[in-house]
Structure 1
Amino acid sequence: MIRRFWNLLVKYHIRTVIVITLVVNMLVILLSFLPGYVGDFPPWVTRLPLLNAVLNSFTFIFLMLALLAILRRKIILHQRFIYAAFTTTAVFLISYVTFHFMAESTPYGGTGFIAGFYYFILITHIILAAVIVPLALMSFFTGYKDMRAVHRKWVRWTMPLWLYVSATGVLVYVMISPYYTF
């Protein structure tokens, strides 16, 4: 049954990408309008931002290793690193949604040039994080289906943008973490 469901997702990968993109991005948008949790957080919730930064770091590393593997024509190794990047990204997404369901946004406390830098990184990170969902999924499915010519066209955009999103996710955490108040 699971195998049949997977085969349907792969067969109709464009529909799959559209549905997953809409669900993920709408969920994140919805969370930004919900009020935060009232009361003391369970201790595990306060650790989620650090976990998110660690997961983004692993995603960045896995993507770089996947890139090096494919440049050396080690396709199986490349696939394994891509699966690892998708796994850390999926766990990140669950952790991110959980944290932002529980917590209100933390305002940045820096000023001057550093505040401008932070908001530039944050805004580009948010926009590209939404954009990377369909790009990464299309890259994944075209690679999984061994549609190499199409896959190459997708990853030309996906890889640098996904690397940027994962790296800036860590940077945003490093810059905002001093201002957490839980």
Structure 2
Amino acid sequence: MEQISEKKLKNLKVLIWILSIVIPVVVAVLFGVKIEGYDTSFLPPIYATINGITAVLLVAALIAVKNRKLKLHERLMKISILCSLLFLVGYVIYHMTSDPTPYGDKESTMYLVYVLLLVSHIILSVTVIPLVLVTYLYAYLGQFDKHKKLARFTFPIWLYVAVTGVIVFLMISPYYGA
């Protein structure tokens, strides 16, 4: 692993925090951009599936590291990061080209469950960005004690975001095109 000075480590962490702020801001700005003339209605099941795949990969990566299959763990985590990035791209493209889908029955208890899951999903999806990036940075640098300590916090949040992404999709999908 690469030896790195404290100054370079600090600069990388600053870059991670900048990305962690810029990504959600750019996503929020892009939500205000509407591009007409494209049918991207096929995307929600795709990006929900990607979220599901991410959840499975995260669990598989946890099992791999527990069984000391470190190369497999590393590959699975890299693929999980790629899946999360692909999800985000698909999600943004869909919302830039489609009108919002309102939940159908706002008087039901399920609507409250939907809103609670959606809000917690969104908040934690923003929170998980720096956690994933710093956790990955520690592993990349071979600082496995720090990596392991932070991963114990990052993993359940990332898994929650991936799983609730699928659940939110399943709850809103009956109202697409309604």
TM-score over 0.5 for the pair: yes
Partner of 1:148: 144
CA drift of 1:17 comes to 0.9
The residue correspondences of 1:22-101 to structure 2 (distance < 5 A) are 22-32=21-31, 34=32, 36-39=34-37, 41-42=38-39, 45-101=40-96
Q: Does residue 16 of structure 2 align to residue 20 of structure 1?
A: no
Q: Percent identity?
A: 33
CA drift of 1:38 comes to 4.1
Residue identity in the other structure for 1:139 = T
Partner of 1:112: 108
Q: Report if aligned partners of 1:37, 1:104 keep a CA contact under 8 Å in 2.
A: no
RMSD: 1.7
CA distance in 1, matches of 2:138, 2:111: 40
CA distance in 1, matches of 2:30, 2:103: 19
CA distance in 2, matches of 1:14, 1:35: 30
CA distances 1:100-121 after superposition (whole Å, capped 9, x unpaired): 1112321111332111111110
Q: Does residue 123 of structure 2 align to residue 124 of structure 1?
A: no
Q: Give the 3-state SS of the residue equivalent to 1:153 in structure 2.
A: helix
> What 5-or-longer segments of structure 1 have no aligned partner?
1-9
Partner of 2:4: none
Q: Report if aligned partners of 1:128, 1:161 keep a CA contact under 8 Å in 2.
A: yes
Q: Report if aligned partners of 1:35, 1:104 keep a CA contact under 8 Å in 2.
A: no
